[in-house]
Amino acid sequence: MELIKVGEKTYYIKNPTNIGIYKINDKDIYLIDSGNDKDAGKKILKIVNEQGWNVKGIISTHSNADHIGGNKVIQDRTNCNIYAYNIEKCFTENPLLEPSFLYGGYPFKELRNKFLMAKESNVNLIQDNLPEGLEYFPLKGHFFDMIGIKTSDNVYFLADSLFSKETITKYHLFYIYDVKEYLNTLDNLSNLNGIFYIPSHCEGTDNITHLIEINKNKIYEILDKIYNICESEKTFEEILKIIFDEYNLIMNENQYVLIGSTIKSYLSYLKDENRLAYEYKNNRMVWKQVN
């Protein structure tokens, strides 16, 4: 982990999931997300303590386990408050909801892992609770009520609204809950006027125009791919296998629920756009292009 200063009061810890830091005075700070597990939380506290800072609060951009995994250990050791928005508060307080939602039922043991299920923490609603100098704004699409954070230094923390070119080239698919809202968010990001931007899984940058286009183009590529797959009738499982095969992805429990849920979101978008339709044949739900 590396601490990087990007404004008078704004820092971030470079990490697989970047951690934001905002100083509200010489001593007290707010964290933006807390990393993927308790070990990440301990490393964050070590950096914070070396600077002589005190964690006053944690702002969770959303409730995915890799963003709230350090919540519990940091809260237990500092007694700090944690803030999240709407549904994200419920998922953060009840982390079994994430693998249950992704799987569509009670998750079997292999899905109840730290990658999909963080430790529970006590959370307050973020509304009207942020200190002076911080603002939150919606970043819908990736998860239910994901938010971004703007600091008084005109630095934007963008959560999982953008993924790096390297990640997209390697994995092609990234988790999306609502494709339409995700595309709207990408359009809205184009209107931001910050001096620096920090997506959770990218290098910080002073220009996100190219990243927005890369992310948007990949979404449209996948939409077209799924549409073309459904030239003949296909079940969801058949579509999922073809996508994995064509992108040379390797199936495991985590990928099955994350990519599987994402493919269902793409199917919903294409259905709502009247490009695909479904029907039931021999007790199987099949998808096909709309003629």
Where do we find the tokens 């899905």?
A: 111
What element of type H or E holds 198?
A: strand 196-201
pLDDT at residue 1, rounded to an integer = 87
Average pLDDT over residues 63-73: 98
Q: What is the mean pLDDT of residues 202-221?
A: 97
Residue among 136, 68, 57 at smallest CA distance from 97: 68
Q: Specify whether the CB–CB gap between 217 and 225 falls below 8 A.
A: no
Residue 30 has pLDDT above 90, yes or no: yes
For 28-93, give the DSSP string. Answer: EEEEE---SSHHHHHHHHHHHHHTT-EEEEEE-S---HHHHTTHHHHHHHH--EEEE-THHHHHHH
pLDDT at position 182 is: 98
Token pair of 5 as six digits: 């200063």
Query: Residue holding tokens 């237990």?
Result: 76
Q: Is the pLDDT of residue 256 over 90?
A: yes
| pLDDT at 248 (0 to 100) | 96
What proportion of the chain, given as a percentage, has pLDDT over 70? 100
What pLDDT, on the 0 to 100 scale, is given for residue 128?
83
pLDDT for res 206: 97
Q: Which pLDDT tens digit goes with each residue over 82-120?
A: 999 999 999 999 999 999 999 999 999 999 999 999 999
Question: Which tens digit of pLDDT belongs to each residue from 258-287?
Answer: 999 999 999 999 999 999 999 999 999 999
Mean pLDDT of the chain: 97
Amino acid at 166: E
pLDDT for residue 291: 80
Place 52 in a pLDDT band, splitting at 50, 70 and 90: very high
Q: Residue 9, CB half-sphere, CA atoms under 13 Å: how many?
A: 20
What pLDDT sits at residue 99? 98
pLDDT score at 219: 98
Q: Is the pLDDT of residue 134 over 90?
A: yes
Cα 181 off chain centre by: 13
Domains and CATH numbers, the chain: 2-219 (3.60.15.10), 220-289 (1.10.10.10)
Q: What is the mean pLDDT of residues 284-291?
A: 96
Q: Answer whether residue 160 shows pLDDT above 90.
A: yes
Q: Does pLDDT of 232 surpass 90?
A: yes
Return the pLDDT at 130: 93
pLDDT of residue 151: 98
Find the angle CA(103)-CA(107)-CA(108) to the nearest 5 degrees: 125
